[in-house]
Structure formats: C-alpha cells, structure tokens
C-alpha cells in the first residue's frame, strides 16, 4: 500500500488536531498557515510546515502539492481563504478535498466548487453529544 499524503490548510484547533492525529498514524502531512508562530509549533510533528499567504495565487504555485492524495481546508470563518485554498488544491490535482464550512452559505459555495466533502465540526460533535445523552440510563 502506498503512503497517504495529506495537505492541511489552516491551523486552528480543527486543523491542528487533524495534523497531529494523521502524523501519529505515520501519514505524510504538509501543514500550511499564514501565521509563522503556528507553523513553528506544528513543524515539530508534521512532515513539513510552510507559512504562506493562502490568498496569493503565486504562493500556491510554489508549493509541492501536485502528488498529494488528500487536502483538508480548515477555515470556517474566512470564506475567502477557504474558497481560494480549495481552488488551489483542485488546480494542483489533489484527488480528494475535505473542507470545513462555517455556515450554510459557505457550504453551498463549497458544494458548487465540487468539494468532495464539506464538514461542520461543531454540528457533528453536537449530534454525537446529543446521541450520547439520549443513550444514557
């Protein structure tokens, strides 16, 4: 089996938790964010961490992401950064893209871009918590 390669864009709590878990599973992780302090912190456990302005097309063109299997875009609030990151991953040929949406409008836009999977982490955890409470004795 070939090793998976995942590029994670946006390193808030959601992106960092994904990066750590994948790294622990020996998956190659390229972490991208525009905050150098976060990049320095994350670089300790991912394969590679790069600080770029994700809204810059030129910055994306310099990245080695053509052969990545999976991309995860973790911007819920910054819709512009989310859309531009998704488009850059698509243009680079990333095979499967998962994107976090901050609201229903953001989700609709991502779906129009044909993003493979759109997630609402807070909603998902809320549903899991409710199921847990319902199942309690």
- What is the model's pTM? 0.89
Number of domains making up the chain: 1
State how far the Cα of 120 lies from the Cα of 90, in Å rounded to an integer: 21
Domain that holds residue 58: 5-135
pLDDT at 137: 77
Average pLDDT over residues 63-68: 86
Give the CATH number, domain containing residue 27.
Answer: 3.40.50.720
Report yes or no: 118 and 107 within 8 Å, Cβ to Cβ: yes
**98 or 76, which is more confident:** 98
Tens digit of pLDDT for each residue in 17-62?
Answer: 999 999 999 999 999 999 999 999 999 999 999 999 999 988 998 8
**80 or 125, which is more confident:** 80
Tens digit of pLDDT for each residue in 77-115?
Answer: 899 999 999 999 999 999 999 999 998 899 999 999 999
pLDDT at 1: 44
Report yes or no: 115 and 99 within 8 Å, Cβ to Cβ: yes
pLDDT at 116: 97
- The residue with tokens 């809204």 is 55
């Amino acid at each position: 089996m070939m090793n998976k390669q995942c590029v994670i864009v946006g390193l808030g709590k959601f992106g960092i938790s994904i990066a750590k878990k994948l790294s622990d599973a020996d998956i190659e992780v390229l972490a991208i964010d525009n905050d150098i302090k976060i990049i320095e912190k994350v670089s300790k456990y991912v394969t590679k961490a790069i600080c770029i302005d994700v809204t810059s097309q030129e910055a994306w063109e310099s990245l080695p992401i053509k052969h990545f299997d999976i991309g995860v875009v973790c911007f819920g609030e910054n819709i512009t950064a989310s859309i531009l990151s998704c488009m850059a991953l698509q243009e680079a040929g990333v095979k499967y893209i998962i994107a976090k949406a901050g609201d229903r409008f953001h989700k609709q836009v991502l779906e129009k871009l044909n993003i493979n999977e759109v997630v609402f982490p807070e909603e998902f955890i809320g549903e899991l918590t409710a199921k847990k409470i319902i199942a309690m004795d």
